Each structure stands twice: as structure tokens, then as C-alpha cells.
Amino acid sequence: MSTLFEKIISREIPADIIYEDDICICFRDIEPQAPTHLLLVPKKVITGIGVAHSEDQKILGHLMITIAKIAEQQGFNSNGFRVIINHGIDGGQTVDHLHLHLLAGRALNWPPG
Ligand code: 5GP
């Protein structure tokens, strides 16, 4: 069975896609927690950061570099932004397909709730 994010990648489910390459896709979160809330998702299904393996190193590195490029392109480097990966129940993960949240556009609280 496809994950929700695979359905977005295949255009089965619509999303506001702002970036895509052969390794990952970035689109707006449907329930934004900040003025800008993006999700960056690898096309390969890794169910969570806690189960990523060394074979996924290239993908994980690509996600980090790409989220930085997107943040810069969106103009968030001067005021800053936050990148979050939730894992498991206590981490608040609801979709079992690895994704980076990029939150920006307001001052974010620390520690998070
Ligand atoms: P998690 O809780 O797993 O870290 O993050 C999952 C995110 O996916 C949530 O922020 C949620 O709002 C977002 N989300 C859930 N369903 C959809 C959807 O159908 N479309 C989009 N664009 N985002 C979704």
C-alpha cells in the first residue's frame, strides 16, 4: 500500500508542490503551523529517521542540502527557520514516510511542546 506522500509524489493526491528533483519533493503542509510550513520528502520510502541506514546516507545528505537551498530561495536565511523530523509516537509522527518539516515566517518557541 502506498504512503500518503507516495500518493502526492504520483499526483494521485494534489498538493502545492514547490520543488521536485529525482530524489525528493517539497510541498506545503495541509495544516500549517507557521506562516510557511513545508514538507520535504524523499521519493524512496524510509519509514522514519529512526530506521534510516547507512545505505540511505546519500539521500539524507541530499535532503539536508536541499532544505537549506529551499530556505534560502524562500528568503528565510536572514530571519531564520526551523527544520524538524518527528519519529514515532512520542515524536508526534503521523505519516510513516520520512519527511523534514521546514517552519518559518514567525519566531518559534523553544522548547517545542
Ligand atoms: P508528522 O506528524 O508525521 O511529523 O507530519 C505529517 C504532516 O503531514 C503533518 O504536519 C500534516 O499536517 C501533514 N499532512 C497530512 N496529510 C496531508 C495531506 O494530505 N497533504 C499535505 N500537504 N500535508 C498533509
DSSP readout, 43-96? Answer: SS----GGG--GGGHHHHHHHHHHHHHHHHHTT-TTT--EEE---HHHHT--SS
Tell me the pLDDT band of 45, cut-offs 50, 70 and 90: very high
Q: State the pLDDT at residue 1.
A: 86
Bond into 111 cis (ω within 30): yes
Across the range 69-86, mean pLDDT stands at 97
pLDDT in tens, 8-38: 999 999 999 999 999 999 999 999 999 999 9
Q: Is the pLDDT of residue 50 over 90?
A: yes
Ligand 1 — pocket residues by CB below 6 A? 4, 13, 15, 27-31, 39, 86, 92-95
Q: State the pLDDT at residue 113.
A: 84
Q: What share of the chain is helix, strand, coil (3-state, %, to 5)?
A: 30, 20, 50
Three-state DSSP class for 10? coil
Choose among 92, 85, 89: nearest CA to 113.
92
Query: Domains of the chain: which residue ranges?
Result: 4-104
**Could you tell me the three cell numbers for 82?**
526551523
| Domain covering 4-104 in this structure, CATH number | 3.30.428.10
Q: State the pLDDT at residue 63.
A: 98
Q: What is the mean pLDDT of the chain?
A: 97
Q: pTM higher than 0.95, yes or no?
A: yes
Whats the size of the chain, residue-wise?
A: 113
Torsion on CA atoms 17, 22, 24, 29, rounded to nearest 10 = 10
Locate the ligand 1 atom nearest the alpha carbon of residue 31 and give its number.
12
CB 87 within 8 A of CB 93: yes
Q: Mark whether 99 is an active-site residue.
A: yes
